[in-house]
């Protein structure tokens, strides 16, 4: 399976790479239109004149990666990840999902995806990643209910894994992520304003909630200042998250109140994402705060260089090094927990067909101060990945 996937990717990449980071369509030439034709295949039905069903299509994503690192706590690599998430000896199936999207009665959207077990062990079906119905009469008001990623808090998690610029999200962003939850949300945008609000059951289940982990609430509001600042994008946003019960395994349980202030700036070939995060701990977790800065520059329409700097502080060893891949270090003490964290990332993204098919590579330096009872960490992690979606 891995050999077939990589063969297809290399065959496509052998032609002219097209569609830069912000593009999804190409000019109609004989050589380039093969990508458009391939990505049109999952559209099984479309007819805007049908009063009932306007569109039905398949959707999916496949993300493969390999990581290796060296630190004062020992060397590590992705081949040490569990066998059930590996293809071969070392390639991790980071995400593999399959589902559908549909539009009904011109105002309703029904969509969903399942996580696929990489080696079909014990079966093809892993879990419901999302399945929800949206009423979208216009851009200013969308109402959704079902199971979905709780992504109305935090800039990195409100950006899909299909479009993030670094191979992995930041440490503090991952620490505050509440998971894929059952609930309801509203969101919209109008005249430069964006907003969203959601309430979820806090338990993360294979299918839908069993109401065993309290409530998670998220909200945000923002405004795009691009006209005032003369930029292509200048979206400033305030975020809030509340978790009522430490039984939520994610950030909605570890942190009772979480706050974020983020900005997305873009002009010509430049992009800058930045965020300040802070949260009050519960269930034995200390308070945390930190910053995350991600600049990027499009060298060409296909090649992009990306940087990132992170700093985070956690009371009572409230931080922990990342699951991928630093926690694999063999001499890691206290599970990699600590009080002060610095990290610097430098990477390249090569866009074969925009975000729909790309190759990513990056190296990150991490340094964790273990504080009173935690474990120090100092090292580098290098990762490469292939990502595609339809």
Tell me the pLDDT tens digit for each residue of 305-336.
Answer: 999 999 999 999 999 999 999 999 999 989 99
* Residue 28: pLDDT over 70: no
349: enclosing H helix or E strand: strand 340-351
* Residue 16: pLDDT over 60: no
pLDDT of residue 121: 83
- Reported pTM: 0.89
pLDDT of residue 31: 55
Burial 215-249 (b: 16+ CB within 10 A, else e): bbbbbbebbbbbeeeebebbbebebbbbbbbbebe
pLDDT of residue 25: 43
pLDDT of residue 284: 87
Cis peptide bond prior to 325, omega within 30° of 0: yes
pLDDT of residue 161: 97
261-290 mean pLDDT: 96
171-194 mean pLDDT: 97
340-359 mean pLDDT: 98
Where in the chain are the domains? 2-389
9-17 mean pLDDT: 41
Whole-number percent of the chain with pLDDT over 90: 86
pLDDT of residue 6: 41
| Bridge partner residues of 47 (DSSP) | none
pLDDT of residue 369: 93
pLDDT of residue 370: 86
Whole-number percent of the chain with pLDDT over 70: 92
pLDDT of residue 7: 43
* Residue 363: pLDDT over 90: yes
> In 3D, which of 354, 316, 326 has the Cα closest to residue 77?
326
Contact 236, 265 (CB under 8 A): no
Q: What is the DSSP string of 129-152?
A: EEEEEEEEEETTEEEEEEEEE--S
- Token readout for 327 is 């926690």
222: enclosing H helix or E strand: strand 215-224
d(CA 178, CA 231): 33
* Residue 188: pLDDT over 90: yes
* Residue 10: pLDDT over 80: no
63-87 mean pLDDT: 97
pLDDT, tens digit, for every residue of 207-231? Answer: 999 999 999 999 999 999 999 999 9
pLDDT of residue 19: 43
* Residue 339: pLDDT over 70: yes
Domain 2-389, CATH among 3.10.20.740, 3.30.565.10, 1.20.120.530, 2.40.160.10: 2.40.160.10
pLDDT of residue 122: 86
* Residue 29: pLDDT over 70: no
Contact 283, 246 (CB under 8 A): yes
pLDDT of residue 170: 98
* Residue 12: pLDDT over 60: no
344-351 mean pLDDT: 98
* Residue 13: pLDDT over 60: no
Q: Which residue has the tokens 């079909």?
A: 120
158: enclosing H helix or E strand: helix 155-158
């Amino acid at each position: 399976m891995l050999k077939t996937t990589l063969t297809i990717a290399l065959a496509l990449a052998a032609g002219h790479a097209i569609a830069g980071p912000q593009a999804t369509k190409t000019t109609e030439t004989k050589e380039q239109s093969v990508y458009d034709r391939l990505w049109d295949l999952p559209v099984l039905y479309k007819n805007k004149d049908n009063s009932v069903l306007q569109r039905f299509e398949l959707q999916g994503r496949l993300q493969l990666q390999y990581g290796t690192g060296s630190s004062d706590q020992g060397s590590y690599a992705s081949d040490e990840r569990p066998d059930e998430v590996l293809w071969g000896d070392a390639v991790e199936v980071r995400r593999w999902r399959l589902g559908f999207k549909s539009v009904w009665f011109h105002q309703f959207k029904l969509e969903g995806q399942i996580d696929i077990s990489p080696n079909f062990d014990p079966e093809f079906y892993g879990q419901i990643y999302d399945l929800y119905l949206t009423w979208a009469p216009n851009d200013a008001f969308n109402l959704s209910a079902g199971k979905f990623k709780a992504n109305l808090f935090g800039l990195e998690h409100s950006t899909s894994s299909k479009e993030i610029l670094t191979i992995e999200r930041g440490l503090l962003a991952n620490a505050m992520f509440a998971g894929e939850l059952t609930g309801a949300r509203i969101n919209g945008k109008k005249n430069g304003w964006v907003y969203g609000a959601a309430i979820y059951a806090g338990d993360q289940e294979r299918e839908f909630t069993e109401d065993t982990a309290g409530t998670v609430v998220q909200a945000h509001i923002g405004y795009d200042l691009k006209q005032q600042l003369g930029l292509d994008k200048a979206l400033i946003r305030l975020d809030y998250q509340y978790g009522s019960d430490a039984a939520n395994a994610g950030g909605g349980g570890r942190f009772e109140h979480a706050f974020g202030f983020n900005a997305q700036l873009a002009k010509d070939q430049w992009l800058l994402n930045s965020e300040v995060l802070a949260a009050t701990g519960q269930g034995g977790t200390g308070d945390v705060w930190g910053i995350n800065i991600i600049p990027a520059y499009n060298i060409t329409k296909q090649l992009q260089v990306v940087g990132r700097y992170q700093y985070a502080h956690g009371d009572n060893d409230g931080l922990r090094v990342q699951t991928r891949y630093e926690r694999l270090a063999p001499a890691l003490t206290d599970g990699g927990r600590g009080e002060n964290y610095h990290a610097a990332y430098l990477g390249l993204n090569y866009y074969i067909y925009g975000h729909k098919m790309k190759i990513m590579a990056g190296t990150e330096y991490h340094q964790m101060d273990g504080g009173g009872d935690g474990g120090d960490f100092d090292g580098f992690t290098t990762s490469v990945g292939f990502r595609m979606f339809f």
